[in-house]
Amino acid sequence: MLLSIVLFLLSAAVIYFACEFFVNGVEWLGHHFKLGATATGTVLAAFGTALPESAVTFMAVVFGTTPEQKDIGVGAAMGGPLVLATLAYAVVGLALLRGKSAAGTARQRTGINADQRRLARDQAWFMGIFIFKVALGVLAFAWKPWLGILFLGVYALYVKRELSHDDECIEAETLEPLKLRPRDPNPSLFWACTQSVLALVVIALASHVFVRQIEVLSVAMGLSSHVAALLLAPVATELPEIMNALIWVRQGKERLALANISGAMMIQATIPSALGIFLTPWLLDGPLLAAGMLTMVSIMMLWMRFRTATMTVPALSSVAGLYALFAVYLGWHFAA
């Protein structure tokens, strides 16, 4: 038990430290590819940090030998978006709310420093995909697996749109020095790629340890395996996105933080879902449908605020309440 607690805390610290290197490297990648802050967050950073949770779904649905093992993949595909739509956005809001600097106070008065209308379009894309994804989970028909191709196609269209409608590219003067080349004012693409890839490897390994400790601790505390799979494991697999958000907010770059979460949500709505639809019956039970419904409620709330450019720090923080509601529901469901 003590060893699990130590490994739990140590792996979380390693993830945060590695994320410091990752966000620094990915900003330089965005600079070299002439991408703006939004595309850097929604495409480059999101794709990198979404690899661990996508790998969970892949391993479960491809190599799982029992229905229970394949259900883990389906649970990851549904639980991940819920965590991102509630806790991840709320972390950005709470980090801004707790800011003590003069800049942080100004952000609280003027709202969120980001392209809110563009974020609203991302929420609309996600909502359309997610409604279709949940609807497939209550229907059974022979050619359902072929529909997984649609999800991959939609993500490709989303990436194309992000890259073709990007804002101004990130200038080298606005970036912190690359951590592997602190004295180089304009490090090469090779060094930016090297730092980002090495950081991702560390994040993936540490995330694996973190998830394992979540499982061990949940058993030690007497929690149901279903509760651990639906409530705790998704938080663990989405930890890199949450850590990235904290780092970028600390640096005063909430545009990158929000774009990273938005892009990760699009990946979670498409790639893991496509794998699940390809290789499982994709039929959702009560807890998974509840996760889907609460995810859609959160996205609708975010979309309404972003669409009118009226998102505030307290409003962004409030979506965490929906995750708390899901936790209460799970406790009631499995206790009944």
pTM for the model stands at: 0.82
pLDDT tens digits along 283-313: 888 888 999 999 999 999 999 999 998 888 8
Give the residue among 197, 257, 269, 215 at the shortest CA–CA distance from 48.
Answer: 197
Q: Left if phi > 0, otherwise alpha if psi is -120 to 50, otherwise beta: which for 323?
A: alpha
Residue 50 neighbours by CB under 8 Å, 6+ apart: 241, 264, 267, 268, 271
Tokens standing for residue 19: 């994320």
CA angle 248, 259, 247 (to 5 degrees): 15
pLDDT tens digits along 192-205: 999 999 988 888 78
Q: What mean pLDDT, rounded, does the chain reach?
A: 82
Is the pLDDT at 318 greater than 90? The verdict is yes
Across 51-77, average pLDDT: 69
In whole angstroms, give the CA distance from residue 269 to residue 264. Answer: 9
pLDDT tens digits along 177-227: 999 998 888 899 999 999 999 988 888 788 778 767 776 777 777 766 566
Task: Report percent pLDDT > 70 for the chain.
Answer: 84
Question: Domains plus CATH for the chain?
Answer: 43-168+224-335 (1.20.1420.30)
Q: Is the distance from CB of 70 to CB of 58 less than 8 angstroms?
A: no
- Please indicate whether residue 166 or residue 319 has the higher confidence score (pLDDT): 319
Q: Is the distance from CB of 327 to CB of 231 less than 8 angstroms?
A: yes
pLDDT at 186: 87
